[in-house]
Every structure is written in C-alpha cells, then in structure tokens.
Structure 1
C-alpha cells in the first residue's frame, strides 16, 4: 500500500488531522487504530439493551473556541446539554464544582449566609478559586470552609483517582474543578456545550468518510508499517511506547468501567454523581441524561480508578515535575525525526487535554503542515 500519510490513532486528534489532510490537501491518508472502533475514548455505542452508552466514561463536549465548534459542526448536529455533577458529601448530594448552593445545602442557613458574604467580599462573585489557593489565602471562618471543602470534596477523591494528594499534583489538576463563587450549577461554563445529536460514533464516521481516507482497525501499526509506503507519519499514541521506553515509562492513571442495565427509567438525578469519600469507585455515570434517549430502561456505569500498569489502558497523564522531565527526554527524540514523524494528542503530548483541546491541537498542527505544503 502507498499513501502520503500514516496516522496512528483514531481519536479526536488523529481523525481531525486525517480529515483536514484528505479534504484540504487532497492527500491520501491511512488511519491505523489498535482498537476495534474509531473515536478513541469518546466512542459510544448501543449496548445489547438498546441504550446508547459512552464506553470509556461520559463525554460532554464543551468549548469556548468558535473555530473548534464550527469545525465539528460540519459533521454533526448538536443536542444542547449542560452537564451537571453532584458529589456525595456527608450523605447529601451537592453541586460540583463546589459553589454557593453547595454551602447552603451543607451548613445552617445563617452560617451559610455569612460564608457567602465572606467569599464575595474576599474574592468577588462569579470567581473560580482553586482549592489550594483558597486554603493558602483564606482567613477566619473561610479557613474552616477551605479545610472542609479540601477534606470532603478534594482530598479523598484525589487519592482514589490519582493515588496522590492534591498538593502532590500539578496545580492545573485541582484548578480544573475549582470552588465557584456562584449559584451556577453547571459543571462547565463554556460558550458552546452539547452532545452530538446522533452519537460520537456517527460524528467520527462522517469525519472519516472521504475517498482519500482508509481506516485499518484492530491493528498495531508496528505489525504492518514495513508493508506500507508513506511520506510522513502522525503518531497520537504514548510517546514513550513509540521510542520503546528507552528513557523509561511515563506513568498514567487508568480506569475500569462496570456497566449495569436497570429496569427503571432513571437511576440518579444527574449524569454524574461523584463519591468523594466512600467506596472504592469514584463516580457513577448515567448516559441517558446526556443523550436524552427515551427508554423504560437505563444503563449506569460505575468507574473504578486503576493504578499505573503496562497492561492497563493509559487514560490520564500524571502531571508532576519529574514526569515532565522524563517527557522532555522523549521530546528531544521526537525533534530528531520531525521531518518524518509528528507527535500530537493527549498521550503523545503527555497533556491532560479535553476533547476540544485535542481538536484545537490538531487544527493548529494541520495549519503548520498546510503552510509547509504551499
């Protein structure tokens, strides 16, 4: 087989680059995917009970990028959807990110009102404050509040998910779910939010439906690459694996999903409920809240964190200084072959990308490719 490009990995990064190169540059692309489906971790499908599930944890699309939203809108209509997450704290389900409504749900009314006044006075209304910053800067009653939130919402949940304390991770991790001085219960406040109307699988199928794109599933690229003639490669898998771990393995956190279909219309009040302190699992997901599917049955997904292990699927790069240092060694290796191989994506960049960030990264890389092709 002869193509212009080989792209390894059919998630958002790989699919976006394949579509742009095929449709805009009119070049032939072979997309190689190790799994039996396109879509990466965003893949969804109907289970045997007819419920549309997100196979690798619920995925809610959100972005502030007009460019990204418009690009994906070429391949899907959207179901408007604002994601809501609840956390079980002291036996009560309260909004996450922790906000003013969470305070009133957990504290006596007069004390909650006092805490609200103090938060607005010190930080302002509508402000998102990372929990570590709140702990450092709080005074008086806000110190008690900060420690309460840290212990009840962040500490044990972070230990379960990452096997690290919040202050042992890069601050960008805890900043992803800040304390929100607001009554807005939405998990995200991005300008554009929604779920692909028909499915993520349909979105990806439309992206890759081009005569210049061939897709090879259930295939380790290393087993077939010698039989393919190509000019350049884009690799979206783990960068350390590409270089055969010559500098050591980059650590990742993994997940295990347990699915259960119930003979009832809904199981819980929101798409995601976090169990911050209790149980071994971190959260229970119910995809019907996201998809709007009408059915007398529902499927729930219980999510268990898994330790770093070569046999486990890598999901989350672990943002720590020593890991960034190790990653930099692989970046040096990548620089030496950049005329032949380009690296992009959550695993190749070793960055904690959201879906829109993965698309933006791919569109930016495509622009650089296109400029050199002129």
Structure 2
C-alpha cells in the first residue's frame, strides 16, 4: 500500500513526491508515461556529448527566493541571462523590442525618451484590451505587431492573435531602454549539471518508488494507494466527459553541426519566415566548451504530447466544467500546467506544488511519523 500515487514526474509531480516522502515520511509511487523523469525539462547528452533539452529550451527564472532556495537543495547553479533575437527584414534584432531593435530596424538614432513618443504616435487606441492583438497594437502599433508578433503567434498557437487571450503577448514586454535580457527576474540560473540531474536528486529518497513507461489508466485499479497527486491533462483524468480540452504541441528536430557556433545567442525566433518558430543553440545555456554545436528546430503542431493550454474564452469555459469535477474528487489533488489548464512557467509550477503541499500538511494527519516524532518544516513558498 502506497500512501500516495503521483502521476507525472515533471516539476509538479516531483516536488510533491519529494515533500510527501521527505517531510511526511510517507510512501510515494511516482509514475510517468515517458521512459524518463523530469517531464518536459528532461535533458540528455547527445551523441556528440553535448547537453541538449529534449523538449526545447527550458530557462529557469524567478523572483521568489523561497522557490529558488527550495530547488537549490537539489542542484548547484550556473548564472545565465537569456537573450533572444528575432529574424526580421533580413536582420537579427533584440526581442523583447527595445531601443536598439527600433534604431537598427529603421536606421534611427532615438533616445529612450524619444522612443516612448515614437511608440505613442504609432499605438492604436483599443477601447477594451481583450486579445493578444489588442495588447500589442495598443502599445506599439500595427506595423511592429505584423513584423514581430502576428506570424510567430500564428505559428505557435495555430490561430490568429486576435483569437487568443491577451495574456499570451502580455508575457513579452516592450522596452524603451537598451535592456536586451528576455527576463528581468532577480534569480536567473541554469542547473549546473542539467535538469535531469536535479530531478534525480529530488526523487532520490527511500520512500519514493518510480515506474516509467506507465499509464495511470493501466494501474489505477491494480496498485493500492490512499491518495493521488495528478499532474496530467485534467480532461483525460475524467475520460473527456465534456469533450477534449485543446492543447498545443511541438515537434523537435535535433541537429549537431561540426562548426563551433551557429548563432550569437541561445535562441533566434523566426516570426516572418520558415515553418519552425525558433532555433535553440544549447552551448549558450550550458556553458559547455566543444568543437561542435547542437541545435533544436521547433515546429508547433496540434498533434502530439500536450504542452500548452490554448488560452481562448471557450476553452476557459470548458475547463471550468472539469475544474468543478476536480474540486469534487476525493483524495485527489490536481497540480501543474496540464492538470489546472494554465500557462505556467517552471517556477510557478514549483510554487503551486509547494502551496498545494502546504495545504495537505495543514489538513491531513501524517500517515507515517518519523521515528523521533519530528518532521522537518516544509519550505515557505508562494506564487512569485
């Protein structure tokens, strides 16, 4: 008899398993459909010996000291500030759009103050900002929207930005200074030895058993357990009772080149041309020194593993019906991006898992107290 069955070995499931096993001394079975732990953050060494991210680049960043400290128990860090370029009009320009982006694109020499005025002259009034298109055109106008956002968003999500919730493009700010960092969070690091090693450390506990290539549907009636942490698609848990929730997937082409470098930054976006959305070069992320370089080309798709909930009003309404079922389910906790149908960053998933664990600790007596009767306190953590 396991005290807990944790479905999914990504961030949400692994954090929950670690806390339940280490802090409550309870027996946890972690299962995952894939042949590895770490979920979409899984990284591996390819044939050239380069560390690559199997499911596209994962860049850790957070403003939460609690979340950073919690993960620091399981990894050392390598400081890294992410920079992205966008291929537009035959140039590779900083994204998010900043002062250098505009000056180089249009051959100008604007100052920060002048750029704010320049944006204001091109911004289109929008009575109510509801969509991703509204966000951009109301701030910087339609021409920049067409060059940097519309094509990329249509490739990434399979629909026009005018059909997507405003949250999608609101994630990418516009700057009037020369700050070319993609994120501005206080803590920006990469796990020194990779994400998979971090997850191995997190799940390395005698109370945790792991079963890979295992489907929840195949074992839910075969293995005895008291409670469940579920991190898979919420509609799948309920056998798609109200229909399938739309998710966006990705296809990846991993390539190794014999030259030392391919591009000047880790990620180059392609909003205007090609079927792929971006190219990632991993040596920028890992700091590895190697005569060859490994890249990943990303191709968004409607088919394949679910990666991103599609933020549209009708999808949110459908999720609310599943959320009502989830709230009524006894002894099951739904955690993570897929289980709560939210477009979370990695640190937000960790924060959600720690907050869920805290609620469990406050409401459910410990099944297996430590021999000395003492439990280590759970770390305080919340959403950043």
TM-score, length basis structure 2 = 0.89
| Secondary structure of 1:186 counterpart | coil
Distance of 2:147 and 2:38 partners within structure 1: 35
Superposition deviation, residue 132 in structure 1:
3.1
CA contact (8 A) 2:99 2:112 kept: no
How many residues align structurally? 356
Corresponding position of 1:148: 143
Corresponding position of 2:85: 86
Please state if 1:12 is matched with 2:4: no
CA contact (8 A) 2:112 2:176 kept: no
Corresponding position of 1:333: 325
Superposition deviation, residue 109 in structure 1:
2.2
C-alpha distance 148-114 of structure 1, shift in aligned 2 (>3 A)? farther
Please state if 1:252 is matched with 2:247: yes
Corresponding position of 1:320: 312
Gaps of 5+ in 2: 122-128, 366-384
CA contact (8 A) 2:62 2:186 kept: yes
| Secondary structure of 2:225 counterpart | coil
| Secondary structure of 1:245 counterpart | coil
Corresponding position of 1:141: none
Superposition deviation, residue 341 in structure 1:
1.1
Corresponding position of 2:360: 369
Corresponding position of 1:142: none
My pick for the range that moved more, 31-40 or 109-118, is 109-118
1:215 aligned to 205, 210, 214, which one? 210
Superposition deviation, residue 119 in structure 1:
5.3
My pick for the range that moved more, 222-231 or 263-272, is 222-231
Corresponding position of 1:68: 67
Please state if 1:349 is matched with 2:340: yes
Gaps of 5+ in 1: 123-128, 139-144
C-alpha distance 31-117 of structure 1, shift in aligned 2 (>3 A)? closer
CA contact (8 A) 1:119 1:181 kept: no
2:235 aligned to 240, 246, 260, which one? 240
CA contact (8 A) 1:131 1:179 kept: no
Corresponding position of 2:48: 49
C-alpha distance 68-348 of structure 1, shift in aligned 2 (>3 A)? same
Distance of 2:111 and 2:359 partners within structure 1: 52
CA deviation digits over 1:224-248, x for unaligned, max 9?
2222111100100000011111100
| Secondary structure of 1:76 counterpart | coil
| Secondary structure of 2:56 counterpart | coil
Equivalent runs, 1:277-296 vs 2, <5 Å: 277-296=272-291
| Secondary structure of 1:248 counterpart | coil
Distance of 1:111 and 1:77 partners within structure 2: 42
Equivalent runs, 1:103-122 vs 2, <5 Å: 103-110=102-109, 115-118=114-117
